[in-house]
Structure formats: structure tokens, C-alpha cells
Amino acid sequence: MSSLYELLDSHPQSSPEELKKSYRRLARQYHPDANPDDPAAEAKFKEISHAYEVLSDPERRAHYDRFGVDPSAGGGGQGGGFDTGFGDIFEAFFGGMGGNAGRVRRGPQFGQDAEIRIGISLREACFGVERTLEVSLPVHCDDCQGTGARIGTTPERCTECGGAGEVRRVRQSLLGQMVTASPCLRCQATGEIIASPCGRCRGDGRVTATKSLTLDIPPGVDTGTQMRLGDRGPAGPRGGPNGNLFVQLIVEDDAEFQREGDDLHREVHLSMTQVALGAEMEVETLDGTTTLTIAHGTQPGHVTRVKGEGITHLKGRGRGDLYLHVVVDVPTSLTEREEALLRELATLRGELVAQHEEPGLFNRLRSAFS
């Protein structure tokens, strides 16, 4: 099996920038859009994406460099995940109803999951963007290295549970002996007691700090899209593993475009002479501009479809479409010459229009002296 570094054509000494550059090169090479109907390329793309997700996170990379195991992968390592001890096997058969289903996790507990929300523009939602986030979360205390014990001391074994992290009770029933287990309240299921707490974290093993995280937002997201950053949430107490950080995305409203699924809509304002005589004009899109040809006699509300210039499909290839809606702007004020020309046109077409009102005496006098 290739290592994560080999998947990215890199080595353990590669800098974060070198890893990112290699990942982007390989992602372009194996992206499903560049290799349609090629399952091997799609599988390769998933492998390198996972490798970069692990190695781009300093904590997960350090864990991988030390143990050679992805900390987010289940099973406990490359040995196939069979790390069950004889005690666990015995309990699976004889420990009571349900085997291990009701067992309490021993040792440091996982940190809780956290959620944040960020806003992105419509253009960023369409093409994707890399964001750097400043997040305030519990992190492992540097003074005690997350143990919660004062420097020079170590946690002591809990006398209540004997270091097991759980308290077991045996009771008699009609079916025989029943064994129940519950978390040890004295040591909070860690199996250890902090006799001399760290002065900085007060025995919790965690302090609140601001962390900088890089988030690669894929193209095609929408409001409500949730991204999961595994192992990058709050640290667990007393050296426990990190929880997950969930990022909720909110796509901000755009002044020009309205989104409907992966399609975009925008209004194109034209004058009555342009729709009557026809015109050609440049219209702004997310990609730049496109030329819109207006046939003579175009009616208000006419819709022109521009294929493939909508939002990128999040779970698929290609993009939605852009729909341009014609809006005719009728002038609200006219010069005398413009009004005369329109009245002449109405006469030629046999159309009835309102008669022009003669100005009053005051207006005639004002016009004479102006």
C-alpha cells in the first residue's frame, strides 16, 4: 500500500506549500471532469484528496509521521484493526446482555463537536474558494501537555474504579448474575485522578485559544451545505482526541443574479427602441461577459438561455445554465423633440394616444422670459 506521501508524489520533508502544489497538480490530472467515465482516475482522485486532507492538518500529519496511521481512520492502524484484547473477547461472550454494546470508553474522552457558520459570495460558491478561518476552541494545554497535572507530577490511578474508568456492579436476577457498568464519576471515566492540577488549565488539560484553519470550499456549494473537518474541533479533556468541527455555509445574496438550484437568472434592461428595432449588447456573467443578440420585435419578459454559465454541479460534472430575462424600460420624461417623434410614429401606426395639454398662461409667460 502506498503511503500518503507517495500518493502526493512527495516525501516527509515536504513543506506545506510543496504538498499543496503537488496536490493541486494531481487533482487537476485525475479530476473526474478531466477523465470522464474513468473509474480508476476517480478512485485515484479520492485517494489523493484524502491524503492531502490528512497531511495538510499539522496535528494529523504529526500523528501520521509518528505512527504511520491516519488518526481519523477506524480500526487502530494498518494491522487490519484487530486490537481487541482477551478481556474484551471474554466480556463479549460472558459480560452480560449485548456484549460490548454498553461498554464505557476508557481513558481520555473525545472532545465535543463544534459548529461555525461562514458567508461566501455567489461567485465563490460557483467556483470554490480557499478560506482561512480564525476559530476560538479548546486546545490541549501546553504547560501540562494535556494531562491536567502540574509540571513534575503525574495523574494517579483512580481508587474508585481501579483505573478502569467504569464502575461495575453485580446483581442477582431470575436469569442469574447481571453485570452493569457505568462511567466512574470520580475520575470522569478517565481512570485517573489529578491530585496536583495544572495551574493554567486547572486539571482539565485544555485551554481556550484561537486556531487558524484552512478550509477548501468546493465549487457548487449552496446555503445549508455542511463541511466536516474531522479531528479539528475542540480538544478532549485530559489529552483526549479532538472532536469534529462542522462548517455551515451561507451563500450571500447577489445584486445581479438570482440562484435557483444550479441555474442563474438575471434581468437585462432594454429601451423600447432596442426591443423594437433589435440590438446587440454585452451582458455580464460570472465568467465575464457574453454577447446577447436582441431580435427586432422582442417582447418584455422574453428569456434567453445561456448554456453552461450557471453554478457548478456539486455532485456531478458540468454547470447549470444562465437565463437572461428581458425588461423594457419605458421613459418617464421626454424632450419636446422626442415627444413629437413618438406622436408622429403613433399617427403613422394609427394608434390612439393621450393629447398633449397646452401649458397655462403662467407657464407660457415663464417660457417666454426663460
- Integer Cα distance of 361 and 237 in angstroms: 90
Q: What does the block give as the cell for 302?
A: 422574453
Indicate if 49 and 178 belong to the same structural domain: no
Indicate if 105 and 246 belong to the same structural domain: yes
What is the domain-level CATH number for residue 249?
2.60.260.20
Estimate to the nearest angstrom the gap between the alpha carbon of 359 and the chain centroid.
65
Does residue 92 form part of some domain?
Answer: no
Does residue 11 form part of some domain?
Answer: yes
- Integer Cα distance of 130 and 354 in angstroms: 60
Estimate to the nearest angstrom the gap between the alpha carbon of 236 and the chain centroid.
23
Cell 407660457, located at residue: 364
Q: What is the pLDDT of residues 117-165, one digit of tens each?
A: 999 999 999 999 999 999 999 999 999 999 899 999 988 999 988 888 8
Indicate if 208 and 140 belong to the same structural domain: yes
Per-residue pLDDT at 84 exceeds 90: no
Q: What is the pLDDT of residues 165-221, one digit of tens each?
A: 888 888 776 667 777 888 888 887 888 899 999 999 999 999 999 989 999 999 999
Q: Are strands 288-294 and 258-260 parallel, antiparallel or unpaired?
A: unpaired
Which residues, including other chains, have CB under 8 Å from residue 163's CB and lie 6 or more apart?
157, 191, 192
**Amino acid at position 160, single letter:** E
Query: What pLDDT is attached to residue 79?
Result: 37
Indicate if 291 and 316 belong to the same structural domain: yes
Domains held by the chain: number: 5
Indicate if 127 and 217 belong to the same structural domain: yes
Does residue 76 form part of some domain?
Answer: no
- Integer Cα distance of 195 and 187 in angstroms: 11
Query: What pLDDT is attached to residue 1?
Result: 54
Domain boundary among 253, 273, 292: 253
Q: Are strands 322-329 and 263-271 parallel, antiparallel or unpaired?
A: parallel
Please give the helix or strand (H or E) that residue 229 lies within, else none.
strand 226-229
Indicate if 34 and 6 belong to the same structural domain: yes
Q: What is the pLDDT of residues 279-300, one digit of tens each?
A: 999 999 999 999 999 999 999 9
Does residue 86 form part of some domain?
Answer: no
Query: What pLDDT is attached to residue 73?
Result: 56
Indicate if 278 and 245 belong to the same structural domain: no
Indicate if 277 and 298 belong to the same structural domain: yes
Does residue 170 form part of some domain?
Answer: yes
**Total Cβ atoms within 10 A of residue 117:** 10
Indicate if 293 and 273 belong to the same structural domain: yes
Domain residues for the domain of 359 are 336-369
Per-residue pLDDT at 11 exceeds 90: no
Does residue 81 form part of some domain?
Answer: no
Q: Backbone phi, then psi, for 170, in 5-degree steps?
A: -110, 130
Indicate if 138 and 205 belong to the same structural domain: yes
Indicate if 138 and 204 belong to the same structural domain: yes
Does residue 80 form part of some domain?
Answer: no
Q: What is the pLDDT of residues 29-47, one digit of tens each?
A: 888 777 878 888 888 888 8
What is the domain-level CATH number for residue 17?
1.10.287.110
Indicate if 318 and 270 belong to the same structural domain: yes
Q: Note the pTM of the prediction, 2 decimals.
A: 0.60
Does residue 235 form part of some domain?
Answer: yes
Which residues, including other chains, have CB under 8 Å from residue 330's CB and lie 6 or more apart?
272
**Total Cβ atoms within 10 A of residue 359:** 11
**Amino acid at position 92, single letter:** A
Domain boundary among 253, 270, 295: 253
